[in-house]
């Protein structure tokens, strides 16, 4: 039975119409990309109702592999953390460095392709990070940091002044912690996962610095009129920075803390305390001042006693965070 010309035409038109209704979906939407191969690029995909949100999701999809490295680094530093003084400080430095390195790499992620599904309006975005280009940049930075670490280690070994030894050793550790962060990210980018073998061990550098810090004899003192509890705060901050507080009669250095608080009374429903925290490092034998540093302090609460305590808590946090670097800076300033 022969079909009429109209029937044949209608069938062909229907077939063509059916084909036209099927959008051509890029290969990367649900599978591997022929153009951006996984051995050459780190790939991220994102979909959303809007293009900007889809872009953000695609970038985040690439970034998540580096976030895994951040978590792994944190776990590593926690496992290697010991009871040695200064351990917490260096753990924080290590986490900060790898996070900074990760942020820099993420900024290099590129949007490679965008496709909008005509059937439902969803926007699909492909984000890529070139492995070779990123790895080359990371290796260059690692090489520069290795050179810097070598110079600092050599300087620390050659110096006769104990504080200059400490300053150089501290710089060496800080530089190598930054290098460790870059290495973690290079291992993600490098298709082999190896990165660049380190020449120095951060734990060994930390231990060497700790030994140097313990050789410095510093006696914590508090000026008359300072709030009660400041001496304990100062001694705790010294120990956290890695120094061994000297409680004897003949310390090499005296670190005096002075804190004054002014009661500002009740303002807008809060009791306020405001003042200054000052520390001074002095050579005990010659009474020579090596340096002074001040910080503004304030605290507010719904009663005066709690406002004072909050001001003390702020002083405690400042000294724990900054005292080590401050003392080293004071002690080495005379050489500049």
Please report the sign of the dihedral spanned by the C-alpha atoms of residue 71, residue 76, residue 78, residue 79.
positive
Q: Establish if 2 belongs to a structural domain.
A: no
Count the domains in the chain: 3
The mean pLDDT of the chain is 85
* CATH at residue 303: 3.40.50.10610
Measured from the Cβ of residue 222, the count of other Cβ atoms closer than 10 Å reads 20
pTM recorded for the entire structure = 0.73
* CATH at residue 63: 3.10.28.20
Domain of 176 in residue numbering reads as 132-213
User: Each residue of 41-96: pLDDT tens digit?
Assistant: 999 999 999 999 999 999 999 988 887 665 655 555 555 444 444 445 555 655 66
Domain boundary (161, 182, 213) is at 213
Same domain for 317 and 224, yes or no, is: yes
Q: Establish if 95 belongs to a structural domain.
A: yes
Give the closest residue to 251 by CA, choosing from 220, 228, 212.
220
Give the Cα separation of 219 and 235 in Å (integer). 8
Helices 51-80 and 87-106 pack at an angle, to 10 degrees, of 150
Give the Cα separation of 235 and 233 in Å (integer). 6
Q: Establish if 3 belongs to a structural domain.
A: no
Distance of CA 293 to the CA centre of its chain: 25
Same domain for 181 and 246, yes or no, is: no
Give the Cα separation of 24 and 124 in Å (integer). 13
Q: Establish if 9 belongs to a structural domain.
A: no
Q: Establish if 324 belongs to a structural domain.
A: yes
Same domain for 146 and 231, yes or no, is: no
Q: Establish if 29 belongs to a structural domain.
A: no
Q: Establish if 24 belongs to a structural domain.
A: no
Same domain for 228 and 312, yes or no, is: yes
Same domain for 189 and 154, yes or no, is: yes
User: Each residue of 216-255: pLDDT tens digit?
Assistant: 889 999 999 999 999 999 999 998 888 888 888 888 899 9
Same domain for 96 and 57, yes or no, is: yes
Domain boundary (129, 162, 197) is at 129
Same domain for 242 and 164, yes or no, is: no
Same domain for 289 and 329, yes or no, is: yes
Please classify residue 133 by burial: count the beta carbons closer than 10 Å to its beta carbon, then call 0-12 exposed, 13-18 middle and 19+ buried. middle
Place of tokens 């990309």: 33
Same domain for 267 and 301, yes or no, is: yes
Pick 6 or 258 by higher pLDDT.
Answer: 258
Give the Cα separation of 166 and 128 in Å (integer). 43
Q: Establish if 18 belongs to a structural domain.
A: no
């Amino acid at each position: 039975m022969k079909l009429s010309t109209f029937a044949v035409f209608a069938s062909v038109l229907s077939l063509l119409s059916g084909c036209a209704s099927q959008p051509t979906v890029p290969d990367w939407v649900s599978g591997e990309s022929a153009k951006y191969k996984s051995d050459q690029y780190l790939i991220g995909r994102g979909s959303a109702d809007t293009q900007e949100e889809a872009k953000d999701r695609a970038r985040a999809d690439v970034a998540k592999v580096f976030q895994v490295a951040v978590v792994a680094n944190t776990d590593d530093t926690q496992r290697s953390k010991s009871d040695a003084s200064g351990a917490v400080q260096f753990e924080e430095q290590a986490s900060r460095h790898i996070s900074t390195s990760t942020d820099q790499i993420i900024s290099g992620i590129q949007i490679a392709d965008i496709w909008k599904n005509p059937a439902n309006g969803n926007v699909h975005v492909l984000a890529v990070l070139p492995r070779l280009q990123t790895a080359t940049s990371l290796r260059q930075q690692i090489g520069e940091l290795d050179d810097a670490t070598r110079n600092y280690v050599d300087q620390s070994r050659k110096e006769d002044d104990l504080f200059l030894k400490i300053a150089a050793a501290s710089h060496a550790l800080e530089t190598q912690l930054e290098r460790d962060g870059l290495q973690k990210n290079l291992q993600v980018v490098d298709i082999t996962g190896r990165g660049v073998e380190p020449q120095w061990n951060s734990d060994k550098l930390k231990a060497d610095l700790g030994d140097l810090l313990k050789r410095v004899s510093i006696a914590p003192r508090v000026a008359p009129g300072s709030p009660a509890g400041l001496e304990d705060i100062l001694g705790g901050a010294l120990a956290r920075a890695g120094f061994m507080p000297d409680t004897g009669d003949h310390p090499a250095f005296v670190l005096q803390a002075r804190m004054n608080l002014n009661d500002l009374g009740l303002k807008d429903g809060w009791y306020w305390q405001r003042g200054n925290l000052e520390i001074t490092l002095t050579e005990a034998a010659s009474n020579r001042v090596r340096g002074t540093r001040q910080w503004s302090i304030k605290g507010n609460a719904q009663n005066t006693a709690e406002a004072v305590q909050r001001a003390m808590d702020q002083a405690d946090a400042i000294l724990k965070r900054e005292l080590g670097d401050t003392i080293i800076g004071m002690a080495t300033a005379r050489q500049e």
